[in-house]
Structure 1
């Protein structure tokens, strides 16, 4: 899908922007922008799309999205919330690579920063001790102003640039094609899939929605997403299955029905193909890691 180019509002009074989003609608469209984006999810969970990566996200996650890398967060509805509402509380920082001037990045001391910005073009999931240190600084930004706010961002970037506590999210670098008149149509298709993937979605439904023949739609979808409809749907379903496995509240059978698979054979085959382990092995591995983290 060709994402929307988003223009970040900025003023002459500040060299980067910080905000705190409590409305999930701020993040539920497929887009990209020149600015890098540092996000801390204080509350909320769901499915994140970064480049060609589809995975679950949860409260406590910290992500750095590089310049012009497409991204999108689909928040889950929360059963314990009033009227089954969506919940989100996200600290968001937008900044350009040269937010302190072009010469700043040319300084020899800032080579690790240049490398960080380059790595972020595939999206970075921040983990370990580094996450806690950066989150503490993001939380202080809410009340900081002027030089203190700049200092907090620089400290955060310095921590990230010197840390191995991250994993790459997308297999593709940013550098996406510019939007075209087809964006609205493709955005509608992706929105439909992401809200109905738990049900059976037929190719005829999607092609009719796009106003195309099935063959034309398949070529169109592959051209814009780099994936077939089946691949995209499967990755989305497996991403949601991973989240449910970690929550450990449903049986495997309940999970594959909840995520849109019709039988266990299909679920196990696709899960192992995407995650390189069985659903049960994945669940045990992640829960063991969470337990070790809790005990520290």
Structure 2
């Protein structure tokens, strides 16, 4: 079975995406994306599939996957169960990593880790415990604080002494073949054109399906209807803009592809449980509180003050 494409929405003013999801959720399927992913399981047990690896997971399971490496986590829960939060996720693209490697000589120490990510890397429960507070704060952090948390997280992964490669050395992902699948072509088109007036009949034609067959196949593929999927992508972009600056809500509405403010407000309320203005206000409060927090650094970074030297030496290479 070919993996489905997951479209990762990265704001133009952000270097990476940080988010949480429950179970079931639309991305809980055999899927791939061009971005690296750091995934921490916070609830449920089950089976993990990464490339040609099949294993188990439990709360605290921390895994790094590389670009286009198919993966999935399937929880062992009774049918119909709902889990508010199952995992914390950070996703970042290769261009961002390349810029970091070119700009910061210190990043050269993680080059091997990023290479191993092509096959998937699993970390210890202790590493998962160290990563969790960083991941949680990333959900609301802004500006330089957000970057500081990211580099602290990468440091946890780099310094781990209990990590293992998941997929076999002979396993190779094949993104060109994955993208040849009709519905992956549609998802890629939607990601590039979600601000346009997208019509389901036109997407059905692009995929080669009849309209009825496309509607059924799209719901199976994405977990939601075509209209819900497009609106979710637009709302996600609107949230990014509400967080980033003080752009007027009416301007955001039309920028992300809605054709009237009433529909935008209605869809935003349905997806987020609050109005756009309240979302912006709540995020501002969270961001203000986060500014006073401190980054919990990995214990390996801390080194006692040397006697008689009056200095505190860093444990970094």
Q: Give the TM-score normalised by the residue count of structure 1.
A: 0.55
Report the CA distance between 1:38 and its aligned residue.
0.7
Would the alpha carbon gap of residues 45 and 26 (structure 1) be closer, same or farther in structure 2, given more than 3 Å must change?
A: farther
CA-based RMSD of the aligned residues comes to 2.3
Runs (4+) of structure 1 moved beyond 6 Å?
none
Q: Would you say 1:121 and 2:118 are equivalent positions?
A: yes
Query: 1:1-296, aligned counterparts within 5 Å?
Result: 1-78=1-78, 85-87=81-83, 88-99=85-96, 102-106=98-102, 107-172=104-169, 173-178=171-176, 179=178
Tell me the alpha carbon deviations over residues 59-107 of structure 1, each in whole angstroms, 9 at most, x when there is no partner: 22111111111111222224xxxx851434211111113326x342134
Would the alpha carbon gap of residues 26 and 112 (structure 1) be closer, same or farther in structure 2, given more than 3 Å must change?
A: farther
Q: Check the 8 A contact 2:138/2:146 in 1, yes or no.
A: yes
SS in 2 for 1:155: helix
Tell me the alpha carbon deviations over residues 172-193 of structure 1, each in whole angstroms, 9 at most, x when there is no partner: 4554242266687xxxxxxxxx
Tell me the alpha carbon deviations over residues 163-213 of structure 1, each in whole angstroms, 9 at most, x when there is no partner: 2221111114554242266687xxxxxxxxxxxxxxxxxxxxxxxxxxxxx
Separation (CA, whole Å) in 2 of partners of 1:150 and 1:73 = 27
* Rg (Cα) greater in structure: 2
SS in 1 for 2:96: coil
Report the CA distance between 1:128 and its aligned residue.
4.8
Report the CA distance between 1:133 and its aligned residue.
1.5
- Structure 2: which 5+ residue stretches go unaligned? 184-317
Would the alpha carbon gap of residues 99 and 180 (structure 1) be closer, same or farther in structure 2, given more than 3 Å must change?
A: closer
Partner of 1:263: none
SS in 1 for 2:94: coil
Report the CA distance between 1:27 and its aligned residue.
3.1
Report the CA distance between 1:52 and its aligned residue.
0.3
Q: Check the 8 A contact 1:125/1:168 in 2, yes or no.
A: yes
Higher relative contact order (CA 8 A, sep 6+): 1
Residue-pair matches, total: 179
- Structure 1: which 5+ residue stretches go unaligned? 185-296
SS in 2 for 1:98: helix
Separation (CA, whole Å) in 1 of partners of 2:172 and 2:146 = 28
Separation (CA, whole Å) in 2 of partners of 1:180 and 1:92 = 23
Separation (CA, whole Å) in 1 of partners of 2:172 and 2:135 = 25
Report the CA distance between 1:129 and its aligned residue.
3.2
SS in 2 for 1:26: coil
